[in-house]
Amino acid sequence: MLDAVVIGGGVAGYVAAIKGAQMGGKVVLVERDRLGGTCLNRGCIPTKVLARTAEVLSLAERSADFGVRVGAVSLDPVGVSARKDRVVCQLVGGVQTLLKAWGVEVIRGTARVVGPGIVEVSRAEGGAAVSLETRGIILATGSKPMNLPVPGADGAGVFLGEAALDIDQVPPRMAVIGAGVIGMEFACIYNVFGSKVTVFEKLPGILPPVDDEIARRLLATVRRRGMVVHTGASVEAITSNADGSKRVVAKDESGNDVSADADAVVIAVGRRADYGGIDLDRLGIAHGRNGVSVDECMRTTVPGIYAAGDVLGRTWLAHVASHEGIVAMRNIMGDRCEMDYRVVPSCVFSMPEIAWVGLTEKQAAERAAGVTVSRFPFTANGRALILGESEGMVKVVADSDGRLLGVHVIGPHADDLIHEAAAALHLGATATQMARMIHSHPTLAEALGEAFQGVEGSPIHFLRQRR
């Protein structure tokens, strides 16, 4: 008998499978498509390859600012796509190597859960179905992008979420519907690539999970760079023009018509759980509108069946999915542990980048009395000036005792910087403790140290930014 069958080879599934094998378990991983799931193949990794290309392009275009003359700069879409594919293939190959090295059996095919402890797999290459008997099952079947229920959303030239990676040329005009994380990342990338980008967002502001002040700063920045962003705009249809281009038709909050013509339309209005064809109702697995219901140990309502990752419909974050997979597997292997969501760093690979951990200023004000906010701008940071990327700031939110509640960064390498703050929140550190930690010079991390100092007094290199 197997110790575990993991259904789905994305970041939740393959990580869980490797952890089970590392703990001495006999594990089978079933994947009907490519190992690595959405993250490695169609999401996190390839989009960040494009984001890095946009950064390099932007840097090359302003190389003269650094005293370097490189001549005419242009984008090579074929080269960009080839590099994207190389990076993806290398990482997927790495996952395959790890699974093999740890002795995880990988079966290509579609799984059906017959009942607790029994999984049937229809092999992708055909032949007789495989029946697997196991002590534990992990559902890690992931998610898929949501479409917009309006006329024209399924037409040619309209790309649903991750399908925007298949655009083989830079469109002169692009419309992005949805100003969440995925939408704003694509909007920023193609804005740098040279597209005239128009964004439509139904909500009053962009990036709903992000601190309001940080989101407003990004909005102001992208507008200065020529991006058109319509907030409070409900898209009603996507029509076709005589020249083959598209027109996105919307209404603003006042009921006025708002529209934009585009050569490509990207719909990025969210994702929904994908159950992989598994009949949850027949099995008696409780699930809500967003995804499968689990307890703190990642157990579903059916004994012996666990779930992890996007199929839960909770965070839509790859790093959280991996941890959920580990927690599920540890419990299957008899090492009881619980999932802790209290400290989860999040990133947006916009331009500039955004990252945060903990509470926003608004959330903190609703939950704690006497909130203190400290800010430190990258314009006062030596390393940011050296890099030529001084736009943005570090924002620290603390309670009246200096206990850290949230940290928010907009600016260079925000995705890396946020982990110092995450460690501080995870360990329960105060702003005073973090301010007294020595930060090397000249580094971007000094901006964090200065912002921590501002909670209890004033930073050294910036005047009166505390309130």
- Residue positions annotated with a catalytic role: 441
- The answer to whether the beta carbons of residues 371 and 351 sit under 8 Å apart is no
Looking at beta carbons, which pairs linking 113-118 to residues 24 or more positions away fall under 8 Å? 113/7, 113/137, 113/139, 113/278, 113/283, 113/305, 115/283, 116/302, 116/303, 116/304, 116/305, 117/304
Distance CA 426, CA 82 (A): 39
Q: Strand, helix or coil at 179?
A: coil
Distance CA 58, CA 215 (A): 22
Distance CA 221, CA 209 (A): 18
- The answer to whether the beta carbons of residues 200 and 187 sit under 8 Å apart is no
**Pairing, β 130-139 against β 305-307:** parallel
**Residues with Cβ < 8 Å from 54, sequence gap 6 or more?**
188, 189, 192, 193, 351
- The answer to whether the beta carbons of residues 264 and 214 sit under 8 Å apart is no
Phi, psi angles (nearest 5°) of residue 289: -65, -35
Q: Strand, helix or coil at 416?
A: helix
Distance CA 288, CA 352 (A): 36
Sole residue written with tokens 């499978």: 17
Nearest of 141, 177, 376 to residue 268 by alpha carbon: 177
Taking CA atoms, 185 is separated from 47, 353, 392, in Å, by 8, 9, 17
Distance CA 101, CA 303 (A): 30
* Number of other CB atoms surrounding residue 10 within 10 Å: 31
- The answer to whether the beta carbons of residues 418 and 355 sit under 8 Å apart is yes
- The answer to whether the beta carbons of residues 418 and 356 sit under 8 Å apart is yes
DSSP string for residues in 364-397: HHHH-SS-EEEEEEGGG-HHHHHHT----EEEEE
Taking CA atoms, 66 is separated from 63, 353, 385, 387, in Å, by 5, 22, 11, 9
**Pairing, β 393-398 against β 372-377:** antiparallel
